[in-house]
Amino acid sequence: MEKSDSQDPRRNITLRKLVACSAGQQARIREIRNQPGIRASMYTEHEISPEEHRKWLSTLTSDPRQIIFAVLDDQARALGIVSVNALDLLHQKSDWAFYLDETERGGLGAALEFNFIDHVFNHLKIEKLNCEVIETNAAVVKLHKRFGFVEEGFRRENIIRNGQRIGVHFLGLTRRDWTASRNDVREKYEATLSRFSVTIED
Question: Whole-structure pTM over 0.85, yes or no?
Answer: yes
Closest to 173 (Cα-Cα) out of 100, 123, 114: 114
Task: State the Cα–Cα distance between residues 195 and 145, nearest whole angstrom.
Answer: 22
In the chain, where the domains are located: 7-200
* Residue 31, SS3 per DSSP: helix
Class of 7-200 in CATH = alpha beta
Q: What is the pLDDT along the chain (202 residues), one digit of tens a residue?
A: 344 445 668 999 999 999 999 999 999 999 999 999 999 888 888 999 999 999 999 999 899 999 999 999 999 999 999 999 999 999 999 999 999 999 998 899 999 999 999 999 999 989 999 999 999 999 999 999 999 999 999 999 999 888 889 999 999 999 999 999 999 999 999 999 999 999 999 8
Q: Where are the beta strands (DSSP E) in the chain?
A: 11-17, 67-72, 78-88, 93-100, 128-134, 150-161, 164-174, 196-200
What is the maximum span of the chain, computed from C-alpha positions, in angstroms? 62
* Helix ranges (DSSP H) in 130-189: 138-146, 175-188
